[in-house]
Chain A
């Protein structure tokens, strides 16, 4: 297993090289001149512009820009933003906020989704099941920003249960409403996944054998149905942590949360290559690590899986 984990971690190197190169190419091809945009309508001399351009390596061909970024990244120097701050500082401020938001969403969707999905699966075809199916379909069909704005309006503005925007105070309570919004779509998928899996496992031969042993219904469900049904759900949850961080761009925008989504969004608007690439690199790392964790979790959930 250790060999397997080491190999998987080594695989991240080409993934990161490839993804940063791609981002460099995309930003390079982006129309407009980011340096001129910094100064807006202010009259500036060409020599100043050239100086700033050189400061960010924008005067080099893009392959060289990319190599210079990599060179810095190895020594943990990710460059500076246009406002002159170290990118590493910006990311260090924004990243924990997004992680907190995404983890809250993950816990909400996992707990509620698995519980609702299990009940629906056990009562397949009954009222609760049908209600869950219709609700989840609705949630999947409506775009996330609609839910974001509507819930912000109802719970934040009208009822005043939660602060409508988060701003600088990223406490647990302040992040709760955005986390619920962020969790909604994945919650719907988890309900459906768990439901189908539970309903299928309920008719498995070994479940009948468990009943024949004289086990009570509760023990049968807990020990012989639920654990076997969780494997597809765990796969989804693992892949979803990455998706939640990307999805946070919309939610962070709506609720004005100073997270990584906001940081990336603003950096893209300005064409601030060092920030964009750093954020993307972190996202890629999170993706790769969570999928590794999920694969190792499999081996724990299902003893038949062994990695070599």
Chain B
């Protein structure tokens, strides 16, 4: 490591302007990157980590402006470079691997052409020489069959392949500094690990310095030499990676360390806490079951296993290459499991594994091709009319995206009240009391009732979605990636809330997720799915401590920061 830093950011201030009013996004940020070093900026959404990165490469969106400080790159202050000045830097001096592989490739150009552009623009190669370089770059990024791949369009690539193409693009002109902005957060964990391993190897080999932007402290600690923690636009802590993980000083960093799922999932305390939750929940659920057995107007016999799924299969017919030919897609293949009252069964799998399709069939939103779903002893497919309505009340969903699952035109009050109104429960007064009670349960102030979803944060919205699901006092809640879109700290809070509610109300959860790391804090049984089939079904501790399948082991190994935990 030479003494001369490659990048030095000094007292950087960035503001966004709306109606002539400055809204500061980054305040007095300082960081240093030496040649060949990997530095990670960690923070939650809105912390200013991406804004800092975009300021360095001169790509601040919209009204963003650098209002103070210096960005010294290779000995020169580039903070106030002209458009042309930045243009000369981009590509061959500073490269970028952007966040979302789905939107960062132009859908209308062949992948090879998009990489070739970078070579031509930076005067590295031209014509057929550039074509040959493109193939070498794609191979270097870990893609096989490169000649065919280069001629394909982005939509013919999977997410992981697209991210590899973006890496090839970012490194095409051999930059001295590569900014990797959450390069893998949109990908499945196993793919994430492959890509990061590959990026690590490549940048080591080329001696490229990397500025890694991430929200995951575990990932940062695993991949970076040096960590910079950002919180609300300021850098609150920075230091060697392991040092930060072991001795966090700032209270925010401490919270981050304690709630990062990749780290929390390893702690024995979370296993114990879960145990207590389950005991209480099972007891409450038992009392409810006893009532149900004799109650009227509900679906149920009060059985111990509230959901029993047997041989569930879903086959989609897709149009084939000829209009009269159809191809079969077996999205879910012979899946069987049961959910005990007051416990959580997690279904874990990567995208395309069929886990969400199972959830939709359990909820009765999709008709299975074969197999049955028993809800407390009754076949849900046989229920009609009133009894079907009753079933809908007893089983409620919470979906992934709290931005999309709340009607933006409905106030929070109306969103939560709507299910009560649909099922004609109580008078207007009673319903209002119920909504207040529900907001209280999910720890939201009742002053929020008259607000609209766009005025709420992501975590608050997901709380509202949970309150709405609980309005009808269901026995089962199906949580389809319910915490996946949230920042780590918020995620930890929501998981805690879900645990509390389960203990208090004796709820049973069907928890669908792609992230094995969060499973340990909430689930009792785990179903690992791959390509529509269940590859492993066991208790959560068995899966974590003694995984039976190589696929499960791969999922576990892919959780970032796993190896650091023994030391942390």
Contacts and interface: CB of A to CB of B under 8 A. Distances in A.
Given A205-B98, A213-B91, 6 more contacts: A206-B104, A209-B96, A209-B98, A209-B166, A213-B172, A214-B121
A214 B122 contact: yes
B103 interface: yes
A300 to B, nearest CB: 10
Interface residues of B, number: 38
Nearest to A204: B103
A272 B118 CA distance: 65
Given A205-B100, A304-B155, A210 B62 contact: no
Interface string B151-175: 0010100000000001001101100
B108 interface: yes
A37 interface: no
Interface of A: 3, 203-217, 219, 223-224, 227-228, 301-304, 308
B410 interface: no
Given A206-B106, A302-B108, A212 B117 contact: no
Nearest to A211: B59
A212 B90 contact: yes
Contact of A303 (B59, B108, B170): B108
17 contacts: A205-B98, A205-B103, A205-B104, A206-B103, A206-B105, A207-B106, A209-B96, A209-B104, A209-B169, A210-B106, A214-B90, A215-B87, A216-B87, A223-B106, A224-B106, A224-B109, A228-B108
Interface in B70-96: 83, 87-92, 95-96
Contacts of B127: none
A213 B98 CA distance: 11
Contacts of A203: 61-62
Interface string B104-126: 11111100000001100110000
Contact of A213 (B83, B90, B108): B90
B91 A214 contact: yes
A308 B61 CA distance: 40
B548 interface: no
The 9 A-B pairs at the shortest CB distance, nearest first, are namely: A214-B91, A212-B96, A214-B90, A213-B118, A205-B103, A206-B106, A303-B153, A209-B104, A215-B121
A227 B117 contact: no
Interface in B203-234: none
Contacts of A211: 59, 87, 90
A116 B444 CA distance: 51
Nearest to A214: B91
Nearest to B84: A216
Contacts of B95: 212
A73 B285 CA distance: 78
Main secondary structure of the interface of A (DSSP, over half): helix
Specify which of A205, A209, A219, A303 lies most central, judged by the most chain B CB atoms within 10 Å of its CB. A209
A228 B59 contact: no
B144 interface: no
Contacts of A212: 57, 59, 90-91, 95-96, 98, 170
Contact of B87 (A204, A209, A214): A214
A228 B109 CA distance: 10
Contact of B323 (A3, A215, A216, A227): A3
Contacts of A301: 108
A214 B118 contact: yes
B108 A208 contact: no
B173 A303 contact: no
Interface string B35-76: 000000000000000000000010101100000000000000
A206 B96 CA distance: 12
Nearest to B169: A213
B90 A308 contact: no
B319 interface: yes
Contacts of B155: 303-304
B545 interface: no
A217 B86 CA distance: 11
B25 to A, nearest CB: 17
B560 to A, nearest CB: 24
A204 B107 CA distance: 11
A209 B91 CA distance: 10
Contacts of B321: 308
A211 B59 CA distance: 8
Contact of B117 (A3, A215, A303, A304): A215
A303 B87 contact: no
A212 B104 CA distance: 11
A172 B59 CA distance: 49
Contacts of A308: 319-323
A3 B121 CA distance: 41
B471 to A, nearest CB: 38
Contacts of B323: 3, 308
Contacts of A224: 106, 109
A224 B103 CA distance: 13
Interface string B169-190: 1101100000000000000000
A126 B323 CA distance: 50
A219 B108 contact: no
B337 to A, nearest CB: 37
Given A205-B103, A302-B108, A217 B172 contact: no
B427 to A, nearest CB: 48
Given A204-B103, A302-B108, A213 B59 contact: no
A283 B2 CA distance: 75
A207 B62 CA distance: 13
Interface string B321-339: 1110000000000000000
A78 B387 CA distance: 65
Contacts of B121: 213-216, 219
